[in-house]
Structure 1
Amino acid sequence: FADIFRNNCLNIGVLPVQVSPEYLEEIFRAIEANPNALLEVNLPEQTITIKATGSQESFDINPYKKANMTNGFDDIDYLLNIKEQIREFAGNRPL
């Protein structure tokens, strides 16, 4: 994915999972065999699994975006969640 597309997806709560070309072929084969095939995306473990075969691949995600998605936060929610830390940091800074 292009960085802007990936970030836009993450900002609206859509998890863009990028897999290898080989794994994508496995996914296509599973869907051809069964149009109702299921995929399981596990964000905490950062894996995607073809349920029918158990075939699994890992994916990367920015740790900050992962934490936000796991907690249901957007950027504003994150800042509100750490507002005391921000106040403390700001209070310790010389003017």
Structure 2
Amino acid sequence: MADISIIQSHQMSKASAMAAAQSVADKMASDYDITSTWEGNVLSFNRSGVAGTLAIDDTEARLDITLGFMLKSFAPIIQEKVTRNMAKVFAIDA
């Protein structure tokens, strides 16, 4: 079961939402050595201590993150930051 689950509505085309997600994934890879792969409309990502998926559909993005033992105590802080970032990436007025 995921430690963090966030659903963010969007009004982008699915292709635009996936491109926005890939842009974030590229930055995360550069900043935090997170690897990611697409399977259909689901982006899977991982690194030591963190794994998850970001599923994109026509109206929302659903993020599920599983944290390793060392990061579990930071879940509320991580969730708050990720929620803000998802709102920016998938902004309704974008």
Q: TM-score, normalised by structure 2?
A: 0.24
Higher relative contact order (CA 8 A, sep 6+): 2
The structure where helix makes up a greater share of residues is 1
Bigger Rg, which one: 1
